[in-house]
Amino acid sequence: MSPHRVGRFEVSTRTEQIRTAVGAAGLIAIGEPVLSALARWGNPDLAHRAVKSWARAARRLLKLEAEVTGLELVDPDQQYVVASLHEGFADALLLSLLPLKLRYLARDELFDEWPQLGRFLRSAQQVRVETTADRDAARQLITEAGRTFERGESLAIFPQGSILGIEVAIAKGAFRLARRFDRPLLPVVITGTHRVWEHPYSPTLRYGQRVSMQVLPPVPGSVAVASKDQISMEMKQAALAPGMAPVRRFDPERDGYWDGYSYEIDPEFPEIADLVERHRAGRSTPEIRP
């Protein structure tokens, strides 16, 4: 078996897989029973503190070298629509540093296709979003968002909808929710987290990775939709700025084209957009990805 590097150590592929399974599953397994008990007791404040404590322990276990800026822009007493760039599961470990009670919007496949993660998400009472783009799903999302704000919580959304890379466009959903509920939109730029666990491209759980989070100034909900393109550009520029941890880049020839998976390429990256467009125009059979 060929060796791979994890942190400063070289280990076999089999050892990597075991370490990943124990590490990723273990982090979730430790937190789920506590969150489940708190949910049964109906104490949301304790549950939020438990999630933050779990995330803090996970950051220490993974030895993340986190560089965080802009927290002074966040009002702890405000309820935001938090719109974050998305690179992987470790994003939540950084978002938990925000001085907010966060409720996350998570795709239905994370609840249904990942049994242990699904139990964790249910115990933490995160918001499930159905990937079927019908009116019932939209109404359910609006209802859950309203309940979140009524409880004094903020709603965290990954508006790219995928972890493919910086080139994936930011969708309007988070901006529309901010306008509908007149809550400020809080743009958050996260980079480097894809290296912690580069799922689904690698089974390796990496330790001691450098990651960055930059909070940008909040935008009033009333102008969020109209400002979407400008905000998206500012988020991408901040992610690519010197000093930030390296971003994940989407290479369709390496990563696949993910046919059947809904995503669009930001027109600011015309070469990748052209590759994807030409592939979609010429493909004849669906591509299967894990």
Domain boundaries, the chain: 4-248, 250-290
* Runs of H (alpha helix) within the chain: 13-41, 44-62, 91-95, 108-112, 115-123, 135-150, 173-181, 228-239, 252-255, 270-282
* Rounded average pLDDT over 252-278: 93
For residues 37 and 42, give the distance between their C-alpha atoms in angstroms, rounded to a whole number: 9
| Pairwise CA distance, residues 113 & 222, whole Å | 37
* Chain centroid to CA 98: 14
Neighbours of 178 (CB within 10 A): 30
Selected from 3.40.1130, 3.30.1380, 2.60.40, 3.40.50, the CATH number assigned to the domain covering 4-248 reads 3.40.1130
Query: CA 259, 261, 262, 263 torsion: positive or negative?
Result: negative
Banded model confidence at residue 10, pLDDT cuts 50, 70, 90: very low
Regarding pTM above 0.75, the answer is yes
Residue 215's pLDDT band (boundaries 50, 70, 90)?
very high
Closest by CA position to 211, among listed 57, 62, 22: 62
What confidence tens digit (pLDDT) does each residue in 147-196 have?
Answer: 889 999 999 999 998 899 999 999 999 999 999 999 999 999 999 999 99
Mean pLDDT of 11-22: 40
pLDDT above 80 (res 63): yes
Residue 124 pLDDT exceeds 90 = no
Structure confidence by residue, pLDDT tens digits, 129-146: 766 666 777 788 888 888
Euclidean distance between CA atoms 79 and 65, whole angstroms: 28
